[in-house]
Amino acid sequence: MESASGKFIPNVNPATGEVLGEVTQSTKEDVDRAVEAAKQAQKSWRLVPAPDRAKILYKVARLLEERKEELARTLTTEMGKVIEEARGEVQEAIDMAYYMAGEGRRMFGDTVPSELRNKFAMSVRVPVGIAGLITPWNFPIAIVSWKSLPALVTGNAVVWKPASETPFIAAEFVKIYEEAGLPKGLVNLVYGSGSVVGNAMVEHPGIDLISFTGSNEVGRLINERAGGLLKRTSLEMGGKNAVTVLEDADLDLAVNGIIWSAYGTSGQRCTACSRIIVHEAVKEELERKLVERIAKLKLGNGLDETVDVGPVINRAALEKIDEYVKIGIEEGARLLIGGKIATENGLDKGNFYEPTLFTDVKPNMRIAQEEIFGPVASIIPVKSLEEAIEVNNSVEFGLSSAIFTRDVNRAFQAMRDLDTGIVYVNAGTTGAEIHLPFGGTKGTGNGHRDSGVAALDVFTEWKSIYVDYSGKLQRAQIDNN
């Protein structure tokens, strides 16, 4: 259905500057229509047995598999990440579809002994109702799969606002839902700005929960407004993630993990490594190895299979990254490599930033505290594991952390003491798998999780049920004494 606004904005390829098409800008009235469609569809959908809902999700998984390459190329064209990463992202949506389809025959509650004779007690999950999903451009199909699939298998309907930068992949995903046989009205796609469409969703009395992934600033505003309306929110709001490299680490392995975590997706991951906390005994050697590897990274259009690093999403992001690099230099950090907008060999047509590495960074510098969301990493020297943990935990975010060490004792100490929702040992800060909870502590979120069984808690209410078959009134806590 077309928007009532009649307004459109261009969809631009960040690697080439080419206008790929236009995306409609919806209005509050469009949100109203989407919510009404969702409410009508959810009335009957909640009564469909969960195993039958799951059959549709299995079809979604198979269609995603069939169209993996096509979807990956669409994703790279409008978002910019290299094609290998785009294929991996589509695979994540495939994995999530299969996993959540499996929940159609699990979705476990509990049966427990009653304290009274001839009485049965159990708890079951029931759908919340209408889920409002607000998703970002950096993982435009993976993140919505984390949210929409558990929402649907548990009996909810969805109103979804994708990022304006990635409208095509959103449309393709909705088409797959339709082709899989999902009843009309259960997934409602509403394009538009956060200030118009996002606000309308948060404030709409017909939307029962908001699941949001994006910036801390916007997430806080959503939580404040939704909380006043007693509306459930699930927030995932970024990170300032660190890889710790101890003196006994396999440095070549650490370099591999850092390069992938810091410069994959051009650093535009909430789990990206932007801090490298390294023991002073191996600092110089690690710096040398990192600079050698960074110098070999190839920038370009992500559709080129030989490219390592694609563009950042738009000009505003490019300018923000460059400003942070200037701040780092002004703060006294030492620039080892990179540090400028890439313009050579035709890169000036897109939004490319050179992979950048600072060293001698102090933990309290802005580049070590604030989320840059670009291909910029900072080396922070430390003298011990204890200091490394203190530095790791000194930021306002708590999404992901990693440690490279051969000492199992120190690995377990780090696993216990690193204050993040995700911890990796001898791997980088990225690579979460869909069957475990995804999310973090502190400013990263508000306690809920995407992915894994934990995602069901976002989209369901617990209902406790008691069946008394004694034939008489029994009073709990009174008649059992």
Please report the pLDDT score of residue 3 as a whole number: 65
Which residue type sits at 317? A
* Beta-carbon contacts of residue 84 (< 8 Å; ≥ 6 apart): 305
Please report the pLDDT score of residue 118 as a whole number: 97
Which of 89, 92, 103, 236 is flagged as catalytic? 236
- pLDDT (tens digit per residue) in 90-118: 999 999 999 999 999 999 999 999 999 99
**Residue 1 in this model has a pLDDT that exceeds 60:** no
Q: For residue 450, give the 3-state DSSP assignment.
A: strand
Question: Please, which pLDDT band fits residue 83 given cuts at 50, 70 and 90?
Answer: very high
**Residue 480 in this model has a pLDDT that exceeds 90:** no
Q: Which of 418, 373, 381 has the alpha carbon at shortest distance from 271?
A: 373
- pLDDT (tens digit per residue) in 28-41: 999 999 999 999 99
Active site residue 236: yes
Using CA atoms, how far residue 40 sits from 44, 98, 183, 184, 249, in Å, is 8, 27, 11, 10, 57
- pLDDT (tens digit per residue) in 417-452: 999 999 999 999 999 999 999 999 999 999 999 999
Domain spans in the chain, listed from the N-terminal domain onward? 7-237+445-466, 241-425
**Residue 196 in this model has a pLDDT that exceeds 80:** yes
Mean of pLDDT values over 61-72:
98
- pLDDT (tens digit per residue) in 6-25: 889 999 999 999 999 999 99
What's domain 7-237+445-466's superfamily in CATH?
Aldehyde Dehydrogenase; Chain A, domain 1 (3.40.605.10)
- pLDDT (tens digit per residue) in 130-156: 999 999 999 999 999 999 999 999 999
**Residue 229 in this model has a pLDDT that exceeds 70:** yes
In angstroms, rounded to a whole number, what is the distance separating the alpha carbons of residues 149 and 164?
A: 21
Mean of pLDDT values over 286-304:
98
Mean of pLDDT values over 270-286:
98
Two structure tokens written together for 432 = 């979460």
How, if at all, do strands 232-236 and 241-245 pair? unpaired
Which of 85, 270, 354, 371 is flagged as catalytic? 270
**Residue 382 in this model has a pLDDT that exceeds 70:** yes
- Mean pLDDT estimate for the chain: 97
- pLDDT (tens digit per residue) in 398-413: 999 999 999 999 999 9
Please report the pLDDT score of residue 292 as a whole number: 98
Mean of pLDDT values over 45-68:
98
**Residue 2 in this model has a pLDDT that exceeds 70:** no
Q: Which of 371, 77, 61, 92 has the alpha carbon at shortest distance from 214?
A: 371
The CATH class that applies to domain 241-425 reads: alpha beta
- pLDDT (tens digit per residue) in 297-316: 999 999 999 999 999 999 99
How, if at all, do strands 441-442 and 397-398 pair? antiparallel
Q: Contact, 319 vs 276, CB < 8 A?
A: no
Active site residue 273: no
Mean of pLDDT values over 198-211:
97
Mean of pLDDT values over 197-211:
97
Please report the pLDDT score of residue 4 as a whole number: 67
